[in-house]
Structure 1
Amino acid sequence: MVDVVLHIGSGKTGTSTIQRVLRRNGDALREVGLLYPRTPGRARHTQLGLFVRPDDERVGHRDWLIGDYGDPEEFRRTFRRRLDREIARSGAEGVVFSDEGLFTAGERAIARTARFLSRLGGQVRLVVYLRRQDDHLVSRYQQVVKLGEVARLTTWLAGQDLARTYDYHRRLAAWGEIEPDAFAVRRFEGERMVGGSLVGDFLDAAGIPLREEQLTHTEARNESLGAEAIEVLRILNLHRVEHEGAEPGLFGNHEHVVRLREVDTGPVLTLPGPELDRFMAAWEDSNRRVAREHLGETGDLFGSGRKESGTTTEQRLDPARLDHYLTLLEVPEDRHDAIRRIAVREAAH
């Protein structure tokens, strides 16, 4: 019987930082009887999220489509066998899992997660971080463009199932159905974190008996890109889709993102203030219920206000600026003309 800490996200709340710290500090975790297994993934436990999804959901999921997992039935059997073996060999008293993709899982996947956890037999602690919805929204759009999205922010937003992601009370109620022994709900706000540190706060939320100074890790870098850089990536995504046969949303731009982070690309893309206010108003009741039921507080869930400085609502790249980015990103010259035509077309809309 092993206890489980299950970190379900949500996405864009420092999950990559948490996962890197857990991966790099296996020895320290083992000293306190914990295992951060490699079977589900070296850092993010993507395969756990895929394992608990029913086959009809799994095979259409982005994580499945970009992976090379073979036959779904064989994947499920192999995953379970390898994970059981890894846990048994470790001798650990507890296991820590982390996959932000689980946050928006459907009812069937949550029920399958409950059955998976019951097999392990110990106590279960759920950990989730919540980020102010309007702040999360614009950060999430950046992420999907980095992963191959081709739509503009407003078009992309119109096609999203917002309640599935941003009705936090509904999401937490769905996960509460597994009846965890502890449910740690934290706000992704620096001033609310233990010691002002995400890592320290996660250790506290997860009940891991280690201090941050006992762990090896590097500070997370701000990965936000300016609106101009995001539009450059979107144009490059369009080129890959229109000229190279790539599927929107099913490829990455890691090398480009690394280079773009090194230069100033201007203010961050967002939506007009009135639109963001309406967006937040839609979740006001849900947020208050989360504050009351999970944190024992009355009033607003989030203390921080909407970000207004260093932002822009203009999603446009001046075609005259394109060559600067083609050089910075070392894009092969034989692609330049086609990319320029796309940049001119997109700037005209």
Structure 2
Amino acid sequence: MVGRLSRSAILHIGSEKTGSTAIQSMLVSRRDALDRLGYWYASSPGVDTHSALAMYAAPEYADDLLEAFPGGAFNEQEFFHSLANEIAALPSHVRTVIFSSEHCQSRLITIEHVAKLHALLSPYFDTITVIVYLRRQDEMAASLYSTRLRGGEPVADILSSFDQSEFFWARYFNYEQLLDRYAHVFGKSFVKPRIYEPNALLQGNAVHDFLNICGLPFWLAEEAAMVNRAIPADGQTFLLALNVWHAASGYSPNHDRAKPVRDACALIAEERLQGRPMRPARDEAQHFYEIFRASNERVREAWFPDRSSLFLEDFSQYPASADDAIDTHKAALRAAFVIIEELVRERGDVENKLNAVKDTFHASMSWRVTAPLRAASQARRTCRTERFLCRARRYLDAFRRKVLRANPVSDDQVLKSPES
């Protein structure tokens, strides 16, 4: 491109479940500081995570990302021009632009997908460096279980429920194919894979490691918030039961009578419940890992020749038998009681907000111009929130009654901890 400034790009593509949200949260919260340092975290592909990159390059595999876009629709040409305008408007002192989307790992599963992404970005930059974190496959799969429950899947098995087709392995777990795709298109010297293990990451975490690769100071990571906390076993059990119930009721995962309730329950379970997530049995995790041993060894030879193995092969974090021995009904009820309690508390907050809005309406009679319109807009938003909370509580009460009929237990039994 004639007359453009010399700039480079950093493209962070995940992988999924390797601290991507923490990296993105840090980048978003430090936009102004990055600007002063001559870096820019792009906003046209998305405010937080750059889902539009995956939507543009592989729309056939990214339709589940549509809800992140206004009106649930993605316009390829509008995004193309939006990106061009953002780059054109950058101040001259900005010489490095950062992009980040873990969906570029999980959705871009062909060379054609990666080539389309490269064609989108390459006109604006002299070099594009691709950063990707690789996590041992069994650990990645176990971590994905909560994500699948959040997405509405009624899957009971942590590992064995994965589709064992070549498509799924290529999409998520085959790092040899992933690195080959990006090296083929961007050039091997511009692809920087990292091992997602504490002893392999600078200061033991992905945020500091990422800053180091980018040449950025570590103070940018100060006060970084913890994000994407794991859902404890009780919460996972409850979400599984809720997903099964919704599926049996004929609701798709994105149905407007299923998704809002599930999202609220998942958030409360993440914040209020205690304990670790469910884990697969040790031999099951080892068997899952063995599927990728040969391809992992080829990745080690090509990209990490100084390592004795691509990943540490310690499986002691897994129990001898799977954690699914947990009493399903009691676990679901424990979670349900906490969630209902939180919803009741939130409803009280909403009622307080409604009272405040009511007072605002009385006062707005003397306001001028747009103040009454703003008050009306606030009231509509608050009323929608109240209706949602009432509906969620109604569904949860019905679920609680259904489970109690199927497996009667006393409240004392329900509220005991799993170990009791």
Global fold match (TM > 0.5) = yes
When residues 214 and 231 of structure 1 are mapped into structure 2, their CA distance, relative to the original with a 3 A threshold, is: closer
Work out whether 1:114 is the aligned partner of 2:136: no
Deviates more, 1:141-150 or 1:256-265: 256-265
Between the aligned partners of 2:126 and 2:67, the Cα distance in structure 1 is 33
When residues 339 and 18 of structure 1 are mapped into structure 2, their CA distance, relative to the original with a 3 A threshold, is: same
Is the contact between residue 66 and residue 251 of structure 1 (CA under 8 Å) also seen in structure 2? no
Q: Any idea what the Cα deviations from partners look like across 1:106-160, whole Å, max 9, x if unmatched? A: 2221110121122223101000001111111110111111121112225632466
Alignment of 1:92-111 (within 5 A): 92-104=94-106, 105-107=108-110, 108-111=112-115
The unaligned stretches of length 5 or more in structure 1 are none
The unaligned stretches of length 5 or more in structure 2 are 1-5, 341-391, 408-420
Between the aligned partners of 1:78 and 1:267, the Cα distance in structure 2 is 43
Between the aligned partners of 2:404 and 2:183, the Cα distance in structure 1 is 47
Alignment of 1:41-190 (within 5 A): 41-53=46-58, 55=59, 57=60, 61-64=63-66, 67-68=69-70, 75-91=75-91, 92-104=94-106, 105-107=108-110, 108-153=112-157, 156-158=161-163, 161-180=168-187, 181-190=189-198
Between the aligned partners of 1:140 and 1:296, the Cα distance in structure 2 is 29
TM-score (norm 2): 0.72
When residues 322 and 275 of structure 1 are mapped into structure 2, their CA distance, relative to the original with a 3 A threshold, is: closer
Work out whether 1:231 is the aligned partner of 2:237: yes
Output the aligned Cα RMSD. Answer: 3.0
Is the contact between residue 109 and residue 170 of structure 2 (CA under 8 Å) also seen in structure 1? no
Q: Which of 194, 210, 214 is the aligned partner of 2:216?
A: 210
2:7 corresponding residue in structure 1: 2
Between the aligned partners of 2:68 and 2:259, the Cα distance in structure 1 is 7
TM-score (norm 1): 0.86
Is the contact between residue 2 and residue 122 of structure 1 (CA under 8 Å) also seen in structure 2? yes
Work out whether 1:26 is the aligned partner of 2:31: yes
3-state DSSP of counterpart to 2:234: helix
Between the aligned partners of 1:343 and 1:257, the Cα distance in structure 2 is 21
2:414 corresponding residue in structure 1: none
1:11 corresponding residue in structure 2: 16
2:382 corresponding residue in structure 1: none
Deviates more, 1:156-165 or 1:38-47: 156-165
Deviation of 1:187 after TM superposition, in Å, equals 1.0
Is the contact between residue 133 and residue 166 of structure 1 (CA under 8 Å) also seen in structure 2? yes
3-state DSSP of counterpart to 2:146: helix
1:290 corresponding residue in structure 2: 299
Q: Which has the higher contact order (CA 8 A, sep 6+)?
A: 1
Deviation of 1:247 after TM superposition, in Å, equals 2.8
Between the aligned partners of 1:67 and 1:344, the Cα distance in structure 2 is 42
When residues 200 and 231 of structure 1 are mapped into structure 2, their CA distance, relative to the original with a 3 A threshold, is: same
2:387 corresponding residue in structure 1: none
Q: How many residues align?
A: 340
When residues 323 and 230 of structure 1 are mapped into structure 2, their CA distance, relative to the original with a 3 A threshold, is: closer
Deviation of 1:221 after TM superposition, in Å, equals 5.1
When residues 309 and 271 of structure 1 are mapped into structure 2, their CA distance, relative to the original with a 3 A threshold, is: closer
Between the aligned partners of 2:279 and 2:56, the Cα distance in structure 1 is 35
More helix by share: 2
Work out whether 1:318 is the aligned partner of 2:328: yes
Between the aligned partners of 1:101 and 1:79, the Cα distance in structure 2 is 17
Hey, which bits of structure 1, 4+ residues long, moved more than 6 A? 342-346
Is the contact between residue 190 and residue 197 of structure 1 (CA under 8 Å) also seen in structure 2? yes
The one-letter code of the counterpart of 1:81 is H
1:273 corresponding residue in structure 2: 282
Is the contact between residue 109 and residue 178 of structure 2 (CA under 8 Å) also seen in structure 1? no
1:246 corresponding residue in structure 2: 252
Q: Any idea what the Cα deviations from partners look like across 1:35-69, whole Å, max 9, x if unmatched? A: 1111111111011211122x5x15x6211266445
When residues 340 and 237 of structure 1 are mapped into structure 2, their CA distance, relative to the original with a 3 A threshold, is: farther
Q: Any idea what the Cα deviations from partners look like across 1:275-316, whole Å, max 9, x if unmatched? A: 221211121122222222112324211126222259843165
Between the aligned partners of 1:242 and 1:270, the Cα distance in structure 2 is 26
Is the contact between residue 319 and residue 340 of structure 1 (CA under 8 Å) also seen in structure 2? no
The one-letter code of the counterpart of 1:77 is Q
Deviates more, 1:232-241 or 1:214-223: 214-223
Work out whether 1:303 is the aligned partner of 2:312: yes
2:389 corresponding residue in structure 1: none
Between the aligned partners of 1:67 and 1:242, the Cα distance in structure 2 is 29
Work out whether 1:341 is the aligned partner of 2:402: yes
Between the aligned partners of 1:113 and 1:303, the Cα distance in structure 2 is 33
When residues 176 and 343 of structure 1 are mapped into structure 2, their CA distance, relative to the original with a 3 A threshold, is: farther
Between the aligned partners of 2:303 and 2:143, the Cα distance in structure 1 is 25
The one-letter code of the counterpart of 1:227 is A
Percent identical residues: 22
Between the aligned partners of 1:71 and 1:225, the Cα distance in structure 2 is 30
Quick check: which has more Rg, 1 or 2? 2
Between the aligned partners of 1:254 and 1:30, the Cα distance in structure 2 is 34
